[in-house]
């Protein structure tokens, strides 16, 4: 286990669902990291479970770019879990990014070199898409590049670049206690698209408008406007869930949003919704502290993690 490479998980800040229709998403790399390595035998060391197929596929793709390497792939995803449940911070995407980065590092490539990192991203996207073709790729891009990423898919091409997030904005991540499969939520939304295209388009228009408002607020660097935009995106996700019968904003996520609003901020699902985690944003420390205290009073788990961390790297 001479080389260990890690990649961060991700949190969707804005753009859920709408990014699949070409809207812009903003995504943060978070300090819950997935670690990968190659070992000479079947002993996977401190790996926490089977190798995600996305990681194995990303390794194969990277070996076509950087050359083959022997050894069994070991993966440790424990930091992206709460006990035996996934947090919903993109562990499979992080594993794919880390696996592609590992092959590059083993080939003597510098993961801090932008062209190398872009080639790692290509391999990670190729591998992840081969297993999970319905995703936008925003999670893989963020796990590879790190920081805060502005992401858009146009046809078969992706556009992603870094974006500044206001340091004054206070952000908390809250675990709902319920693990959700993204594919299950996508199935409900896809069913709406097939059965009632007009209602689907109307819901997506709402999400697209909310996404544009969020991106504009981030561009201005205004914490107050970002909080307002988060509240709007929460409402647009709730509306989509209602027309799709998907429960995107369930009772727990709605309660977290109510607590955030009472404290002077806003909260929204991060990801597909239905459970997993909520993202709560506040314009100042006083409202942030009030929210944390309210969550503790109701038994809601505020998860410690930093946002905007470095992307794929050698440990």
Report pLDDT digits (tens) over 160-196.
999 999 989 999 999 999 999 999 999 999 999 999 9
Q: Return the pLDDT at 297.
A: 96
pLDDT in tens, 210-243: 999 999 999 999 999 999 999 999 999 999 999 9
Task: Assign 50 a pLDDT band (cuts: 50, 70, 90).
Answer: confident
Predicted local distance difference test score (pLDDT) of residue 156: 78
Tens-digit pLDDT profile for residues 186-203: 999 999 999 999 999 999
**Pairwise CA distance, residues 178 & 5, whole Å:** 29
pLDDT of residue 106: 95
Give the model's pLDDT for residue 46: 53
For residue 126, pLDDT beyond 80: yes
Element (H, E) at 164: none
Residues 3-17 as b or e (16 or more Cβ within 10 Å = b): bbbbbbbbbbbbbbb
Neighbour-count burial of 122, counting CB atoms closer than 10 A to its CB (0-12 exposed, 13-18 middle, 19+ buried): middle
Give the whole-number percent of the chain exceeding pLDDT 70. Answer: 97
pLDDT band of 1, cuts 50, 70, 90: low
Residue 314 per-residue DSSP state: E
pTM of the model: 0.93
d(CA 55, CA 95): 5
All domains of the chain, ordered by start, with CATH? 4-164+307-314 (3.30.230.10), 170-303 (3.30.70.890)
Q: How far apart are CA 144 and CA 139, in angstroms?
A: 9
**Residue 2 confidence (pLDDT):** 81
Assign 47 a pLDDT band (cuts: 50, 70, 90): low
Q: Which of 5, 61, 52 is nearest to 33 (CA)?
A: 5
Only one residue has tokens 């920081």, namely: 147
pLDDT of residue 155: 78
Question: What is the average pLDDT value for the chain, to the nearest integer?
Answer: 94
Taking a C-beta distance cutoff of 8 angstroms, is the pair 175, 277 a contact?
Answer: yes
At what angle are helices 138-145 and 91-106 packed, to 10 degrees?
50
pLDDT per residue over 59-103, tens digit each? 999 999 999 999 999 999 999 998 888 999 999 999 999 999 999
Rounded Cα–Cα distance for residues 39 and 44 (Å): 7
Q: What is the pLDDT at residue 48?
A: 53
């Amino acid at each position: 286990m001479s080389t260990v490479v890690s990649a961060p998980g991700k949190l969707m800040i804005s753009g859920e669902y709408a990014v699949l229709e070409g809207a812009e998403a903003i995504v943060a790399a978070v300090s819950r990291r997935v670690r990968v390595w190659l070992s000479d035998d079947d002993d996977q060391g401190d790996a926490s479970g089977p190798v995600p197929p996305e990681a194995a596929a990303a390794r194969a793709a990277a070996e076509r770019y950087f050359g083959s390497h022997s050894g069994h792939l070991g993966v440790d995803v424990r930091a992206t879990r709460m006990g035996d449940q996934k947090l919903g911070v993109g562990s499979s995407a992080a594993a794919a990014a880390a696996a592609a980065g590992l092959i590059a590092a083993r080939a003597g490539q510098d993961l801090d070199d932008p062209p190398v990192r872009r080639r790692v991203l290509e391999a990670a996207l190729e591998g992840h898409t081969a297993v999970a073709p319905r995703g936008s790729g925003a999670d893989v891009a963020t796990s590879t590049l790190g920081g805060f990423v502005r992401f858009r898919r146009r046809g078969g091409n992706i556009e992603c670049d870094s974006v500044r997030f206001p340091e004054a904005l206070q952000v908390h991540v809250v675990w709902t206690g319920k693990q959700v499969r993204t594919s299950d939520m996508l199935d409900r939304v896809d069913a709406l698209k097939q059965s009632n295209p007009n209602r689907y388009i109307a819901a997506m228009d709402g999400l697209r408008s909310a996404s544009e408002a969020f991106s504009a607020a981030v561009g201005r660097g205004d914490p107050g406007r970002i909080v307002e935009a988060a509240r709007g995106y929460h409402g647009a996700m709730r509306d989509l869930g209602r027309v799709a019968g998907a429960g995107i904003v369930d009772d727990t996520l709605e309660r977290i949003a109510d607590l955030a609003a009472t404290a002077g901020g806003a909260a929204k699902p991060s990801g597909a919704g239905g459970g997993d985690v909520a993202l709560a944003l506040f314009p100042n420390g006083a409202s942030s502290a009030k929210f944390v205290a309210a969550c503790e009073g109701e038994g809601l788990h505020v998860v410690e993690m930093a946002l905007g961390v470095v992307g794929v790297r050698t440990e």
